[in-house]
Amino acid sequence: MQRVFGQYRLLERIGTGGMAEVYRARREGQIFFSRRMGRRKFSREVAVKLILPHLSMDESFRELFSREAHLASLLDHPNIVDIQDYGHLDRVDFIVMEYVKGVDLRRILKGLSSGESLPLSESICILYRVARGLAFAHGQTDPVDAPAGIIHCDLSPHNILISSEGEIKIADFGIARAVQQDLTRTGTLRGKAPYMSPEQVEGRPLDHRSDLFSLGSMAYQMFTGRHPFTRPSDAGTLAAVRDALLQPLTPAPGIPEDLVDLVHSLLERDPDRRPTDAAAVAATLEPFLDAQSERELADRVRRELPSMTDDPEPLPTAATLPRPRSSRLPASAAILAMIAVSVWVLTRPVVPETAVPMGKNLAVPTATVAPADRETFAGEGAGREASAFLNIRTEPPGAEISIDGEFVGRSPVRTGQPAGDKGVTIEASLYGYRSETRAIGLETGPAEVAIDMVLLPTSTVRIGAVPWAEVVYRGESLGYTPLTLTGIPVGNRKFLLRNEAMGLSREVTLLVRSGGANMIYEDLQGPLDGTN
């Protein structure tokens, strides 16, 4: 089941992360005539990145995203993924990039045996090409020749793409920077902790030298087969990055001393002691390049690539249903939710926590079902005639639908009601929106029930803890205390505070009020008092 998104036909999902989902897609354009092939339609394969709904609904993020995506679209370099389009469609921000048929560096490194390092020639080739791309991006200027200040902020093996032809390209310039600025604005620490720089961990201002530290982390990992800062816990990893605590490299057989010195300089805690720029890094690496390394990388990528079909038909995913936050449904529940579009959903899946119902005291509107042909009701009480079928839609889609207290699926959903039922109560709930209730009077025939969900007001929550704690909200780690969160819907909200290093954990429920002082300050070693 392919999905059309504007002028792009989404063919298959090829990646997902904390900020977006990426699809291999086909851009279809004007029809033209070819003497050899006759009537043809222009078509080009691209990669479409759909920003997750909870980011697309944040106006501050959207402004940052638009500005950074524009800057990134100006980067025309063979070692940077080309950005071809960006914008906002169907309440989703998107960015269109060239499609690189290959794999990311993370996958290549994961394919190595424990403790095995990437061949030196291939490592040098990757680092050199990445440094060239960084040098180009960091060196961009604005119309008055002032530095444009383009930095990546999330440089890691996930964002280094290697094609089946041995091309090496940096992905995600623009979006990573926009997310980093948005998280800095809200006081949230987020990212791939092992590849952060000390200044990122400490929340200090960033410049191009932050990317150089991340490049050093990748270089160390490729040369040794182990990461310099990874520790058993996230907190330990962040502390190691913050203090640049690593086991020094020693010149190993085949690794020149100049390269060892380069890695150590890239991983200096003080940015002033790192190389001046990425061009200097590339210049140090260039004498060690091997002409055969790109071919060897291409062979490695081809071995990693799975067999591909031209037009796979994946099921739609969470990104196709815009809503404030991904609901993290189990796979079985997600599939059931899709089947509910066209068939009856009578199996109850496990569903995540939903927004606290806010509209219970409102008058309940009623609706009447128009007559139509009788159909058979399938489900509990099978064999009885169905007096009506309900086609339930919500705006936005993806709301959990319950009928008389029984969960039947996520909107849009179609369900039958048995003969003899005089009416039902429909409830729709979606995180970030007020729960809605409709009383439907049943007569023989189908009904179209449309429910417009109303956004809840949001507010700011400030969280502190003694000792420090990681903050988990709706199953997602948001960072470490002290922490300021914006855009939290009003109502009772549960936060998990945990300090794995000390074995401490506590769940706190806070009644978030609009415009109020919403604060949590928890002594994790103190008694439970149940108040906040």
Q: Judge if 276 and 402 occupy the same domain.
A: no
Q: Which of 452, 478, 505 is the last residue of a domain?
A: 452
User: Does the structure show a pLDDT above 90 at 78?
Assistant: yes
State the residue range of the domain holding 471.
458-523
Q: Which of 408, 429, 452 is the last residue of a domain?
A: 452
Q: Judge if 262 and 149 occupy the same domain.
A: yes
Q: Judge if 235 and 365 occupy the same domain.
A: no
Q: Judge if 60 and 194 occupy the same domain.
A: yes
Domain count, the chain: 3
Q: Tell me if residue 154 is catalytic.
A: yes
342 occurs within a structural domain: yes
- By C-alpha distance, which of 69, 64, 61, 60 is closest to 87? 69
Three-class DSSP category at 165: coil
Q: Report how far Cα 526 is from the mean position of its chain's Cα atoms.
A: 36
User: Does the structure show a pLDDT above 60 at 351?
Assistant: no
pLDDT of 28: 75
Of the candidates 104, 154, 182, 211, the residue annotated as catalytic is: 154
pLDDT of 27: 87
Q: Report how far Cα 159 is from the mean position of its chain's Cα atoms.
A: 13
Q: Which of 405, 431, 452 is the last residue of a domain?
A: 452
Please tell me the distance from the alpha carbon of residue 194 to that of residue 474, in angstroms, as a whole number: 24
Q: Judge if 346 and 278 occupy the same domain.
A: no
Structure tokens at 152: 């990546």
CATH of the domain at 489: 2.60.40
Q: Judge if 443 and 300 occupy the same domain.
A: no
What are the residues whose beta carbons fall under 8 Å from the beta carbon of 221, sequence distance 6 or more?
109, 157, 227, 228
Q: Judge if 269 and 357 occupy the same domain.
A: no
> Would you say the C-alpha torsion 251, 253, 258, 260 has a positive or negative sign?
negative
Going by pLDDT thresholds of 50, 70 and 90, the confidence category of residue 514 is confident
Q: Judge if 442 and 485 occupy the same domain.
A: no
103 occurs within a structural domain: yes
Do 302 and 163 touch, CB atoms closer than 8 A? no
Q: Judge if 47 and 110 occupy the same domain.
A: yes
529 occurs within a structural domain: no
CATH of the domain at 221: 1.10.510.10
* Alpha-carbon separation of residue 420 from 70, 184, 363, 387, 392 (angstroms): 60, 58, 25, 7, 20
Q: What is the pLDDT of residues 104-147, one digit of tens each?
A: 999 999 988 877 889 999 999 999 999 999 999 999 887 778 78
Q: What is the pLDDT of residues 302-320, one digit of tens each?
A: 998 864 444 444 333 333 3
Structure tokens at 410: 């996520």
